[in-house]
Amino acid sequence: MLRQRILEQYGPSCCIQQVRRTPRFGGSLFVVDVTEAARLTRILGAIGANGELTEQSGMDLLHPERLVFVYERLMLIALALAARPRRALLLGLGGGAMLRHFQAYLPDCAVTVIERDPAVIALARRFFHITAPVVEADAQEFVADADGAYDAILADLYDGRGMARVEPGFWRDCAAALAPGGCVAVNWAAFVDDAAARAEAAAIETAVGRSIFMGPRARRENVVQLAPLDPAIAPAAIAGRWRRFALRRRLPREDRDVLKRCSLTAGFREAQAIAT
């Protein structure tokens, strides 16, 4: 049944590498190779108990260091908003897309990756070229002990049930884990419940003091919430800061130009064009 669901989603020409049930993830994980927009792409996906299929991560098999999804490039903007982007914390491994990108393009930024599910780590190592250390731990417990340790925190916390549930003090702990001038970036997937996501997004803004939302102009895609500690960062200045950061680091063109097809928003899933 699970393999049939994957074939229905991706078509008979896809190549299913593995399907693995993992109770901790709240469903089943799968790895499948598909051709999308002339790219041979490897997908780490999940099928929840309700049969809903979601994509957790993607990897261009010809260029594994490149990012596949737009929201991942938007999350990188947290590094441009951080005062000194030298230490980053990734909450959630998935297929390791962000870790591979950091290793290729931001080697001077020390990265710590937290993943609680050993099945995710095993699949990332076997199918997604992940060889670097990964801390097997609960994100909430880890950030509670990380006072002032990181310049950027990128949170991408999902499982087979959807958005991972966090304790009320989690976002306050994330804010406390930032060094002065740091920034939090959070991925809000298009499939999450709006009411729950709005409540968590408001908690992030309360914890940090401010936040900005970015996403593709197609509302069915993911939204990224950026919460910088620095109150002097104005929304109108973000595009310029990102362009300078991306050029200095020689990021790929698809990274540098990501804001050209996105909107900056004052609230969750509201639309207001960004001047780039």
The fraction of the chain above a pLDDT of 70, given in percent, is 95
Same domain? 41 vs 99: no
Mean pLDDT of the chain: 91
Task: Specify the pLDDT at position 273.
Answer: 38
- The pTM of this model reads 0.93
Tell which residue, 233, 192, 248, has the closest CA to residue 215: 192
Task: Specify the pLDDT at position 218.
Answer: 62
Task: Specify the pLDDT at position 212.
Answer: 93
Same domain? 41 vs 112: no
Could you tell me how many residues make up the chain?
Answer: 276
Same domain? 47 vs 74: no
Same domain? 139 vs 222: yes
Residue 44 domain flag: yes
Where a domain ends, among 60, 87, 104? 60
Residue 75 domain flag: yes
Residue 274 domain flag: no
Residue 208 domain flag: yes
The fraction of the chain above a pLDDT of 90, given in percent, is 75
Same domain? 77 vs 134: yes
Same domain? 90 vs 56: no
Same domain? 92 vs 181: yes
Residue 95 domain flag: yes
Same domain? 215 vs 133: yes
Parallel/antiparallel/unpaired status of strands 53-60 and 223-228: unpaired
Same domain? 116 vs 213: yes
Residue 272 domain flag: no
Task: Specify the pLDDT at position 268.
Answer: 67
Task: Specify the pLDDT at position 195.
Answer: 81
Same domain? 44 vs 79: no
The structural domain count of the chain equals: 2
pLDDT single digits (tens) 5-32: 999 999 999 999 999 998 878 789 999 9
Same domain? 54 vs 76: no
Q: Domain of 137?
A: 70-265
The CATH number given to whatever domain includes residue 143 is 3.40.50.150
pLDDT single digits (tens) 34-65: 998 788 999 999 998 788 899 999 999 999 99
Same domain? 192 vs 107: yes
Task: Specify the pLDDT at position 256.
Answer: 96
Run means of pLDDT, 10 residues per run, the chain, 276 residues: 93 96 87 90 92 92 96 97 97 97 97 96 98 96 95 91 84 97 93 80 94 80 93 92 96 95 74 36
Contact 91, 157 (CB under 8 A): yes
Residue 117 domain flag: yes
**Any bridge partners for residue 152, and if so which?**
88, 183
